Amino acid sequence: QVHVVESGGGLVQAGGSLRLSCAASGWPFTIYAMGWFRQAPGKERELVAAMRWSGERIRYGDSVKGRFTISIENAKNTVYLQMNSLKPEDTAVYYCGIDQLRNLTGMEHHQWLYDTWGQGTQVTVSS
């Protein structure tokens, strides 16, 4: 069974940067898509960024466009989320999810696509 582990969260001042990592491991290793979602206290989980494992069909949430970048390093089975120009409203727990079952192209921005999630990593942006 494949599982994922997020890392890279922490405390940063507004305007700063962080890079989150999502490392996948296990067997059999078949991943169709990977997504970053976040959940702030009292709010629903929302899309941050998502993509096909091939690197295609990259999607971003409206609130992070132009500031965040998702990328993949296939040799390390790791997806990164580079977060620049951070704002206090980016404060949340960030979760990484992978699609190992559905393989539905074009649905990468939907939470229901993902069948396996990491434990989450806290990002706190101070003003």
- Tell me the C-alpha to C-alpha distance, in Å, between residue 83 and each of 20, 36, 57: 8, 12, 19
Q: Residue 56: what residue type?
A: E
Element (H, E) at 47: strand 46-52
The average pLDDT across 49-66 equals 96
Give yes or no for a contact between 70 and 94, defined as CB atoms under 8 angstroms apart: no
- pLDDT tens digits along 1-56: 889 999 999 999 999 999 999 999 988 788 999 999 999 999 999 999 999 999 99
Token digits of residue 44: 């629903």
Cα diameter, the chain:
44
- Residue 73: helix, strand or coil by DSSP? strand
